[in-house]
A and B are shown apart, each in its own frame.
Chain A
Amino acid sequence: MNKTKTVEIKHMSKRFGPTVALNDVSFEAYRGEILGLIGENGSGKSTSTSIFAGMQAADEGEMFFLGEAWAPKSMTDALKQGVGMIVQESGTVAGITVAENIFLGETKEFMRGPFVDRKRMFAEAQKALDQIGAGHIRAEMVTAALDFQDRKLSEIAKVMAQNPTVLVVDETTTALSQMGRDIIYGIMNRMKEEDKTVIFISHDLDEIMEKCDRLTVLRDGQIIRTFTKEEFDADQIRTSMIGRELSGSFYRNDFDSVAGEEVVLEADDLCLGNQLDHLSLKLHAGEILGIGGLSHCGMHTLGKVLFAAEMPEAGTFTVHGKTIRNEAEAMRESMGYVAKDRDVESLCVDASIKDNISVAGLDKFAVKNFLILPSKEKKYVDAQVEALRIKCRDADQYVSALSGGNKQKVAFSKWTGRDSEILILDCPTRGVDIGVKQAMYQLMDQMRKEGKSILLISEEMAELIGMSDRLLVMKDGKVQKELLRSPALSEADVITYMI
Chain B
Amino acid sequence: MGNDTLIRKENRKAALFRLAPVMGLVFLFAVFLILAIIKDINIPYSFKNIINQSVVVVVAATGAVFIYTLGSFDISLGASLCVSALIGAMAYNVTGSVLVMLLVCVGVAVGISLVSSVLASVFNLPVFVTTIAMLSLLSALVLVLIGANGTGDVIQVPAAAVRGINNVWFKLIVMVLYLAFCIFLFDFMKLGRKEKFQGGNPVCAKLTGLNGKKLAIAAFAIAGIGVGLGAFLTITYAPTLSRNTASSVGMDIIISIVFGGMPVSGGARSKIYSAAIGAVSMTLLNQIMLTLSLDSGVGQMVKAMIFILVVYISMSNHKGNILPR
- Which residues of A come within 8 Å of B, CB atoms? 15-21, 42, 46-47, 50, 55-56, 87-89, 170, 307, 309, 326-328, 330-331, 337, 339, 343-352, 355-356, 358-360, 362-363, 366, 369-373, 393, 398, 400-404, 414
Q: What are the nearest 10 A-B pairs in CB distance?
A: A351-B268, A18-B6, A348-B201, A348-B200, A328-B209, A89-B325, A50-B324, A331-B209, A17-B10, A46-B324
Q: Which chain B positions have C-beta within 8 A of A307?
A: 207
Q: Which chain B positions have C-beta within 8 A of A46?
A: 323-325
Q: Given A362-B193, A370-B189, does the pair A16, B321 have CB atoms closer than 8 Å?
A: yes
Measured CA separation A362–B268 after assembly (Å) = 16
19 contacts across the A-B interface (CB closer than 8 A): A18-B3, A19-B323, A47-B324, A56-B320, A89-B325, A307-B207, A309-B206, A348-B205, A348-B267, A348-B268, A351-B197, A355-B193, A355-B200, A355-B268, A359-B208, A366-B190, A373-B188, A402-B323, A404-B325
- Which residues of B come within 8 Å of A, CB atoms? 3, 6-7, 9-10, 187-190, 192-194, 196-197, 200-201, 203-211, 267-269, 318, 320-325
Nearest Cβ distance between residue A3 and chain B, in whole angstroms?
Answer: 30
Q: Given A328-B209, A350-B201, does the pair A401, B323 have CB atoms closer than 8 Å?
A: yes
Measured CA separation A89–B325 after assembly (Å) = 6
Q: Given A350-B268, A370-B189, A398-B318, does the pair A414, B323 have CB atoms closer than 8 Å?
A: no
Q: Which chain A positions have C-beta within 8 A of B206?
A: 309, 327
* CB-contact partner of B200 in A17, A42, A330, A351, under 8 A: A351
CB atoms of A360 and B323 under 8 A apart: no
Q: Given A355-B197, A370-B190, A401-B321, does the pair A346, B204 have CB atoms closer than 8 Å?
A: yes
Q: Given A330-B209, A351-B196, does the pair A362, B323 have CB atoms closer than 8 Å?
A: no
Measured CA separation A21–B322 after assembly (Å) = 11
CB atoms of B193 and A358 under 8 A apart: yes
* CB-contact partner of A18 in B7, B201, B269, under 8 A: B7
CB atoms of A372 and B189 under 8 A apart: yes
Q: Which chain A positions have C-beta within 8 A of B209?
A: 326-328, 330-331, 360
Q: Which chain B positions have C-beta within 8 A of A42?
A: 323
CB atoms of A359 and B193 under 8 A apart: yes
Q: Which chain A positions have C-beta within 8 A of B189?
A: 370-372
Given contacts A348-B267, A372-B192, 14 further A-B contacts (CB under 8 A): A18-B7, A18-B9, A55-B324, A89-B325, A309-B206, A344-B203, A346-B207, A348-B268, A350-B201, A351-B197, A359-B194, A359-B205, A359-B208, A362-B193
* CB-contact partner of A347 in B190, B201, B267, under 8 A: B201
CB atoms of A337 and B325 under 8 A apart: no
Q: Which chain B positions have C-beta within 8 A of A331?
A: 208-209
Q: Which chain B positions have C-beta within 8 A of A328?
A: 209-211
CB atoms of B190 and A362 under 8 A apart: yes
Measured CA separation A400–B205 after assembly (Å) = 17
Measured CA separation A370–B6 after assembly (Å) = 37
Q: Given A16-B323, A46-B324, does the pair A345, B207 have CB atoms closer than 8 Å?
A: yes
Nearest Cβ distance between residue B95 and chain A, in whole angstroms?
Answer: 35
* CB-contact partner of A351 in B187, B267, B320, B324, under 8 A: B267
Q: Which chain A positions have C-beta within 8 A of B6?
A: 15, 17-18
Q: Which chain A positions have C-beta within 8 A of B197?
A: 348, 351, 355-356, 359
Q: Across the two chains, which residue of chain A brings its CB closest to B3?
A: A18
Measured CA separation A326–B206 after assembly (Å) = 9
Measured CA separation A369–B190 after assembly (Å) = 8
Nearest Cβ distance between residue B285 and chain A, in whole angstroms?
Answer: 30
CB atoms of B194 and A343 under 8 A apart: no
CB atoms of B188 and A372 under 8 A apart: yes
Pick the most buried of B192, B322, B324: most chain A CB atoms within 10 A of its CB. B324
Q: Which chain B positions have C-beta within 8 A of A371?
A: 188-189
Nearest Cβ distance between residue A237 and chain B, in whole angstroms?
Answer: 23
Q: Which chain B positions have C-beta within 8 A of A369?
A: 190
Measured CA separation A349–B204 after assembly (Å) = 10
Q: Across the two chains, which residue of chain B brings its CB closest to A85?
A: B324
Nearest Cβ distance between residue B217 and chain A, in whole angstroms?
Answer: 15
Q: Across the two chains, which residue of chain A brings its CB closest to B1?
A: A18
CB atoms of B269 and A350 under 8 A apart: yes
Q: Which chain B positions have C-beta within 8 A of A346?
A: 204, 207
* CB-contact partner of A360 in B9, B187, B208, B325, under 8 A: B208
Measured CA separation A87–B323 after assembly (Å) = 12
Q: Which chain A positions have C-beta within 8 A of B321?
A: 16-17, 398, 400-401
Pick the most buried of A19, A55, A307: most chain B CB atoms within 10 A of its CB. A19
Q: Which chain B positions have C-beta within 8 A of A398?
A: 318, 321
Measured CA separation A19–B1 after assembly (Å) = 12
Q: Which chain A positions have C-beta within 8 A of B192?
A: 372
CB atoms of A350 and B3 under 8 A apart: no
Nearest Cβ distance between residue B19 and chain A, in whole angstroms?
Answer: 15
Q: Which chain A positions have C-beta within 8 A of B205?
A: 348, 359
Q: Which chain A positions have C-beta within 8 A of B193?
A: 355, 358-359, 362, 372
Measured CA separation A455–B267 after assembly (Å) = 31
Measured CA separation A330–B211 after assembly (Å) = 13
Measured CA separation A358–B211 after assembly (Å) = 16
* CB-contact partner of A400 in B7, B196, B323, under 8 A: B323
Q: Across the two chains, which residue of chain A brings its CB closest to B265?
A: A350
Measured CA separation A474–B322 after assembly (Å) = 37
Measured CA separation A328–B203 after assembly (Å) = 14
Nearest Cβ distance between residue B324 and chain A, in whole angstroms?
Answer: 4
CB atoms of B269 and A345 under 8 A apart: no
CB atoms of A350 and B325 under 8 A apart: no
Pick the most buried of A20, A328, A363: most chain B CB atoms within 10 A of its CB. A328
Q: Given A17-B10, A358-B193, A372-B188, does the pair A337, B207 have CB atoms closer than 8 Å?
A: yes
Measured CA separation A343–B322 after assembly (Å) = 13
Q: Which chain A positions have C-beta within 8 A of B208?
A: 327, 331, 359-360, 414
Q: Across the two chains, which residue of chain A brings its CB closest to B189?
A: A370
Q: Across the two chains, which residue of chain A brings its CB closest to B8?
A: A18
Nearest Cβ distance between residue B33 and chain A, in whole angstroms?
Answer: 35
Measured CA separation A55–B7 after assembly (Å) = 25
Measured CA separation A307–B204 after assembly (Å) = 13
Pick the most buried of A46, A337, A362, A393: most chain B CB atoms within 10 A of its CB. A362
Nearest Cβ distance between residue A365 and chain B, in whole angstroms?
Answer: 10
Nearest Cβ distance between residue A48 and chain B, in whole angstroms?
Answer: 10
Pick the most buried of B192, B201, B210: most chain A CB atoms within 10 A of its CB. B201
* CB-contact partner of B204 in A88, A170, A348, A403, under 8 A: A348
Pick the most buried of A56, A348, A360: most chain B CB atoms within 10 A of its CB. A348
Q: Which chain B positions have C-beta within 8 A of A351?
A: 196-197, 200-201, 267-268
Measured CA separation A404–B187 after assembly (Å) = 29
Measured CA separation A402–B321 after assembly (Å) = 10
Q: Across the two chains, which residue of chain B brings its CB closest to A411?
A: B204
CB atoms of A350 and B323 under 8 A apart: no
Measured CA separation A309–B9 after assembly (Å) = 42
Q: Across the two chains, which residue of chain A brings its CB closest to B318?
A: A398
Measured CA separation A187–B292 after assembly (Å) = 68
Measured CA separation A400–B200 after assembly (Å) = 12
Q: Across the two chains, which residue of chain B brings its CB closest to A331?
A: B209
Q: Which chain A positions have C-beta within 8 A of B201?
A: 344, 347-351
Q: Across the two chains, which residue of chain B brings its CB closest to A404?
A: B325
Q: Which chain B positions have C-beta within 8 A of A47?
A: 323-324
CB atoms of B324 and A87 under 8 A apart: yes
Measured CA separation A74–B19 after assembly (Å) = 33
Q: Which chain A positions have C-beta within 8 A of B211?
A: 326, 328
